Amino acid sequence: MKSRRMIGAGLATLASATLLLAGCSAGGGGGGGEEAEATTGTLDFYTDKAAWEPDFDELNATSEEDVDITLNTTGYSDAAQYDAFIKQSFRTQKSPGLFTWHTGDALKQIVDEGLVAETTDLWTTAVEEGWATEGLRDEYTYDGKQYCVPMNIAYWVMYYNKNIFEEYGIDEPTTWEELDAAATTLKDAGVTPYYQTSVLFTFQWFQQLVAGTDPDLYRGLSTGDVKYTDPEIVEIMDIWLDQHEKGWFSDAGSTMDPAVGLKEGEFAMINFGSFFNGSLDGAGMVSGEDYDMFVIPAVNPNLGTTPVAVETGPLCVAENSPQKDLGLAYSEWWISPEAQTAWNAARGDVAFNPLATVNDPMLSDLGTTVADGNHELVTRYFEATPTPILTVALEQFGAFNANPGDPLPFLEAIQAEADSYWADQE
């Protein structure tokens, strides 16, 4: 079929390169030995997405036909146990040929230790073929080189209850001013505009306000170049506080499922990742009829592009795995339109590859919109922020949501942890 012809040439080149390397002295990082590693066969795959095992298994029929590779999937449901297993495997001769991981600081750590295989050539092909954007490549770039490939992608957008919008004559906002006007209309009508929580997903609105004001300011928080107590950040937090005081957010302590809350009109909008379609469908809402989504406009109308927070989980290959070449061969196939079309049919996520066929028209339109050159991807706060700082920030944002007040004490608590973290990096 077409995908076999497209990818076959690349695999032949990879196999030839492997044969050449195998004749050299040990130290090539591909597992060593005098014989070339296999680029077809059964690939051992480890993932922290245990619930997705049936989706990966469904994909085996397509990958076997296209590139003669099938996955032998082992799923973990305990994230801490999974991370410990993967880190331990790097110290053995059985490091995984393919495994799921995390972007941001977690990926940087194993890249810095030389534990993960480089994928720069795959990314060069992907960008040249229009299979991935430059913005997405940046999420996988360290010191000018790329590592791993995207397993999935989610854009953080605004979901809304269509019936509520239609009832009050609200169109999808295209500017921040229009978004504020929509929130005002809803509140005046007795409808809570936005969902919020005090646990875990407490960062979204901070992320949106800062990135939508100045993406470079947002990035500076993740590198320590910007302090949480800087005047620009305090001013942005004051916007958030003002919205709280207007009554625009739902009860932060509510235990109602957010998908059910949107369906029942407890609030009209929710800022969430594009994987939320599945939850809404499960709650009995129909995509495009009962709910829809829009990219949240920039706070600053003079930015030129609209920042969109992106969450992406990588598929990685261990540098010293005996299945390194097989893992890279699968990775090469995975990023193709054919593979991503099959993955969408199995999983239903938005596709990172703009040329893939996406069954849900809403998700298809979102993928096209974000790749149109008028949008700027920024790393989701959860991945962009070093873990020790993130832990404190999630707690402080949650406390702010539960009891909104002067933002400075909350920001000072986060900055105290940031100061400690960045001091240890010097």
325-353 per-position pLDDT tens digit? 999 999 999 999 999 999 988 887 888 99
Tell me: do 174 and 302 sit in the same domain: yes
Q: What is the pLDDT of residue 5?
A: 35
Q: From the CA atom positions of the chain, what is the Rg in Å?
A: 23
φ/ψ (deg, to 5) at 75: -105, 140
Tell me: do 24 and 82 sit in the same domain: yes
Which structural domain, as residue segments, surrounds residue 117? 2-154+311-375
* Chain centroid offset of residue 122 CA: 19
Tell me: do 133 and 16 sit in the same domain: yes
Written as one letter, the residue type at 294 is: F
CATH classification of the domain holding 131: 3.40.190.10
Q: What is the pLDDT of residue 127?
A: 96
Tell me: do 66 and 148 sit in the same domain: yes
Q: What is the pLDDT of residue 30?
A: 36
Task: Report the candidate in 386, 360, 343, 368 with the shortest Cα–Cα distance to residue 150.
Answer: 343
The total number of structural domains in the chain stands at 2
Q: What is the pLDDT of residue 220?
A: 98
**pLDDT under 50 in the chain at which residues?**
1-35
Which residues, in sequence order, are CB contacts of 267 under 8 Å at separation 6+? 191, 192, 193, 194, 195, 249, 250, 261
Tell me: do 179 and 324 sit in the same domain: no
Q: For residue range 204-252, what is the model confidence (pLDDT) as tens digits? A: 999 999 999 999 999 999 999 999 999 999 999 999 999 999 999 999 9
Which residues, in sequence order, are CB contacts of 137 under 8 Å at separation 6+? 123, 126, 127, 146
140 touches 147 (CB < 8 A): yes
Tell me: do 304 and 202 sit in the same domain: yes
Q: What is the pLDDT of residue 36?
A: 56
Tell me: do 207 and 130 sit in the same domain: no
φ/ψ (deg, to 5) at 178: -70, -35
354 touches 347 (CB < 8 A): no
168 touches 327 (CB < 8 A): no
Tell me: do 100 and 240 sit in the same domain: no
Cα–Cα distance, 264 to 74 (Å, whole number): 38
Tell me: do 133 and 95 sit in the same domain: yes
Tell me: do 321 and 287 sit in the same domain: no
pTM metric for this prediction: 0.81
Cα–Cα distance, 251 to 132 (Å, whole number): 39
385 touches 392 (CB < 8 A): no
3-state secondary structure the chain: CHHHHHHHHHHHHHHHHHHHHHCCCCCCCCCCCCCCCCCCEEEEEEECCHHHHHHHHHHHHHHHHHHCEEEEEEECCCHHHHHHHHHHHCCCCCCCCEEECCCCHHHHHHHHCCCECECHHHHHHHHHCCCCCHHHHHCCEECCEEECEEEEEEEEEEEEEHHHHHHCCCCCCCCHHHHHHHHHHHHHCCCCCECCCCCCCCCHHHHHHHHHHCHHHHHHHHHCCCCCCCHHHHHHHHHHHHHHHCCCECCCCCCCCHHHHHHCCCCCEEEEECCHHHHHHHCCCCECCCEEEECCCCCCCCCCCEEEEEEEEEEECECCCCCHHHHHHHHHHHCCHHHHHHHHHHHCCCCCCCCCCCCCHHHHHHHHHHCCCCEEEEECHHHHCCHHHHHHHHHHHHHHHHCCCCHHHHHHHHHHHHHHHHHHHC
Tell me: do 244 and 385 sit in the same domain: yes
Task: Report the candidate in 149, 126, 131 with the shortest Cα–Cα distance to residue 139.
Answer: 149
What residue has token string 């809570």? 192
Tell me: do 37 and 111 sit in the same domain: yes
